[in-house]
Structure 1
Amino acid sequence: MFKGKYKFADRIVEVDSIYEEVHNYCRDYYSDEVPDFSISTSQEDIDFEYQRELRCAAAEGREPIAATDEYREELAVYRKIAERMPDYDTVLFHGSAIAVDGQCFLFTAKSGTGKSTHTRLWREYFGDKAVMVNDDKPLVRITNGGAVAYGTPYNGKHRLGCNISVPLKAVCILARGSENKITRVTKSEAYSMLIQQVYRPQSPVQLAKTLRLIDELAAGTDLYRLECNMDIKAAEVAYNGMKG
């Protein structure tokens, strides 16, 4: 077994794993502080990730993703972390988070809509002013002063992101369109997508905490819907519509 401690969303997590690759993956988040909580993985956890992928592939009509047990353990570790994070007012969000001038903008949508493509347009448009926080699964902590987005090592196949935290200015739901158009939406209009895109714990207690946090996030964060094409103008329209 392999052990290590890592700092995610200002919480120290001790990880006890079967494979060393988990710790190589998380090395940029290493910490020597006292852990807030500990997790450990087993072969059963790895098998669960395999069976879950089989179910998802069947439901989506595609071939299962070829993966090693080492990769599946990485997923299992993050799932266990996500299960505990609601205790610390934090949720795992499926989206692409990018920061400009100290404000983070989180883009979310169903898989295949173009979240990563859109934030790539932001990097092209803003150059060095744009910083990727996390391109796949950022953590978001909800505080009395607003939400904060955190980078994690679980940042997508291109590993776009860094170990930073940035105040979350807005959450934007992406949709494909022939023209670029951004509109402010209400909590009720955005709620179903937020529920879909936030990790929902298996524990009923943790799920209840997560639903409360989604309510608080939606009530305290600017929410938008962006219809966009793949032209770089989409980044300009999105930013001007959300920057405040």
Structure 2
Amino acid sequence: MKKYLIAGLVIAFDYRYDTYFKNNIEHYIYDGNKEVDHTIRLNYALELTEPKDGLFRIFSRSVSGVKSYMLYDEGYKNIDIWIDEDTFTDAATAEYIYSGMIFLELAQRHGLVPIHGSAISYDGEVILFAAPSGTGKSTHAKMWKELYKNHVSWVNDDKPLLSFEGEDIFVYGAPFSGQYSSNSNQKLPLKAIVILQQGVTDKVTVLNEKEGLKHLMRNTLRPQEEKLWDHALQSFEKILKRIPMYLLDASLSTNAPKAIKKAIFNE
């Protein structure tokens, strides 16, 4: 079982399918001496029954029974994900979704905050484009890459992780980054958050704290435990006090990235 250093966490993990992980998660391989924080094992069977004892969580069911679940111990140190591959038409996607879901939950338990968005680095600072699925975050981020070439690189194109260290806020890449594995093993300071809405004007509006909080709450992964949600809300307060947030009425033309870049960098 290989070890990976992802967003400061050492995860022991092995995958079966190459579809999402090959030429992706290898960038996070860790060969240092830091203790493993969590071990995630993937197990497959042609038929599953609901566990009778121990700590477990059912992920999905079919008419005939359980399709997937996880077993775990106190502190989530050891996690076993079980998948009935006979009930999934695409076991590779199931493997990726469930392991990513668990990793994001573990990240939250370590104080990180995942945001549903596309994060790019522009000259070493992160601009995070957040919006519901289908709004065009990836398309907008790609336009930055096309326009500004070597100034821009991917950090994470699905759920970048925010880390709070003293007065500073950083963004981590992670190998769980959507269909095209657009991510990099980086930790960079957060410069700005841009809320995208589909439009035609490319108008940029600076959001106040109340509006910013509303969008942050909509675009984060809400944890199941209230204490973790309370931590997320405290983290949002830090973001709102330190990081500018903008609303972009984004068209599909290159005027959109030009307009928001001008606002962010006071050009």
What letter corresponds to residue 228 of structure 1 in structure 2? Answer: A
Give per-residue Cα distances to partners, 1:171-203, cap 9 Å, x unaligned.
Answer: 110012221111211121021221121111223
In structure 1, the partner of 2:75 is: none
Among residues 186, 205, 219, which one is paired with 1:164 in the alignment?
186
State how 1:99-110 maps to structure 2 within 5 Å.
99-110=121-132
Pairing 1:209–2:238 present: no
Pairing 1:220–2:242 present: yes
Higher strand share: 2
Q: Structure 1 vs Structure 2: percent identity of aligned residues?
A: 28
- Cα distance in 1, alignment partners of residues 166 and 211 from structure 2: 23
Q: Relative to 1, partners in 2 of residues 1:47 and 1:20: Cα closer, same or farther, differing over 3 Å? A: farther
In structure 2, the partner of 1:198 is: 220
State the 1:228 CA deviation. Answer: 1.6
In structure 1, the partner of 2:253 is: 231
- Cα distance in 1, alignment partners of residues 154 and 250 from structure 2: 20
In structure 2, the partner of 1:112 is: 134
- Cα distance in 2, alignment partners of residues 214 and 40 from structure 1: 32
Q: Relative to 1, partners in 2 of residues 1:191 and 1:81: Cα closer, same or farther, differing over 3 Å? A: same
Among residues 77, 85, 101, which one is paired with 2:107 in the alignment?
85
Q: Is the CA contact 1:4–1:23 (under 8 Å) kept in the aligned structure 2?
A: no
State the 1:41 CA deviation. Answer: 4.8
State how 1:47-66 maps to structure 2 within 5 Å.
48=59
- Cα distance in 2, alignment partners of residues 20 and 5 from structure 1: 17
Note the residue ranges of structure 2 that are not aligned, 5 or more in a row. 45-49, 51-55, 63-87
State how 1:10-25 maps to structure 2 within 5 Å.
10-15=8-13, 19=16, 21=18, 24=22
Q: Relative to 1, partners in 2 of residues 1:5 and 1:84: Cα closer, same or farther, differing over 3 Å? A: same
Q: Which has the higher contact order (CA 8 A, sep 6+)?
A: 1
- Cα distance in 2, alignment partners of residues 50 and 177 from structure 1: 40
Q: Which has the larger radius of gyration?
A: 2
TM-score by length of 1: 0.82
- Cα distance in 2, alignment partners of residues 116 and 48 from structure 1: 28
Q: Is the CA contact 1:13–1:37 (under 8 Å) kept in the aligned structure 2?
A: yes
- Cα distance in 2, alignment partners of residues 233 and 20 from structure 1: 40
Q: Relative to 1, partners in 2 of residues 1:143 and 1:234: Cα closer, same or farther, differing over 3 Å? A: same
Pairing 1:180–2:202 present: yes
Higher helix share: 1
What secondary structure sits across from 1:48 in the alignment? Answer: strand
Q: Is the CA contact 2:108–2:114 (under 8 Å) kept in the aligned structure 1?
A: no
State the 1:69 CA deviation. Answer: 2.2
- Cα distance in 2, alignment partners of residues 197 and 70 from structure 1: 26
Give per-residue Cα distances to partners, 1:147-189, cap 9 Å, x unaligned.
Answer: 1111111222222221112111011100122211112111210
- Cα distance in 1, alignment partners of residues 249 and 153 from structure 2: 23
State the 1:218 CA deviation. Answer: 2.6
Q: Relative to 1, partners in 2 of residues 1:20 and 1:119: Cα closer, same or farther, differing over 3 Å? A: closer
Q: Relative to 1, partners in 2 of residues 1:50 and 1:179: Cα closer, same or farther, differing over 3 Å? A: farther
In structure 2, the partner of 1:31 is: 30
- Cα distance in 1, alignment partners of residues 135 and 188 from structure 2: 25
State the 1:205 CA deviation. Answer: 2.9
What letter corresponds to residue 38 of structure 2 in structure 1? Answer: F
Q: Relative to 1, partners in 2 of residues 1:47 and 1:106: Cα closer, same or farther, differing over 3 Å? A: same
Q: Is the CA contact 1:140–1:148 (under 8 Å) kept in the aligned structure 2?
A: yes
In structure 1, the partner of 2:4 is: 6
Q: Is the CA contact 2:113–2:163 (under 8 Å) kept in the aligned structure 1?
A: yes
What letter corresponds to residue 90 of structure 1 in structure 2? Answer: L
What secondary structure sits across from 2:263 in the alignment? Answer: helix
* RMSD, aligned α-carbons: 2.5
State the 1:30 CA deviation. Answer: 1.1
